[in-house]
Amino acid sequence: MLQELKAFLLRGDVLALAVAVVIAGAFGKIIDSLVNDIISPILGMITGNPDFSEVVIGSVKVGNFINAVVNFIIVGIVLFFLIKAAGKKSEDVK
């Protein structure tokens, strides 16, 4: 059973997945910083305040959800453009 576990863990797919998870965690911090430290302040300058955490509808606090959705949309847009740019760079190398 230990041999099977060792064979499973040392397969290329599992190692690539482990590397991808570690890289994604580090990249996630970069994206969080981009959103929180650069994009959100710019949105704050444009809209007055990018923080929706105080928004309440009746007794339901929806502000944190709105913040999460806005952050998700910004992260998706940033990742889209980064992946597009990386794709163009890899095409240029070929």
Report how far apart, in Å, the C-alpha atoms of 29 and of each of 21, 26, 34, 69 are.
13, 5, 9, 18
Split at pLDDT 50, 70, 90, the class of 91 is low
pTM as predicted: 0.48
Stated length of the chain: 94
73 vs 65: CA distance, rounded Å: 12
75 vs 34: CA distance, rounded Å: 9
Contact between 39 and 72 (Cβ < 8 Å): no
Tens digit of each residue's pLDDT (9 = 90 or more) over 8-45 = 767 667 667 777 787 777 777 777 777 777 887 888 88
pLDDT of 89 higher than 70: no
Tens digit of each residue's pLDDT (9 = 90 or more) over 54-71 = 778 887 878 877 888 887
35: CB partners within 8 A, 6+ apart: 71, 74, 75, 78
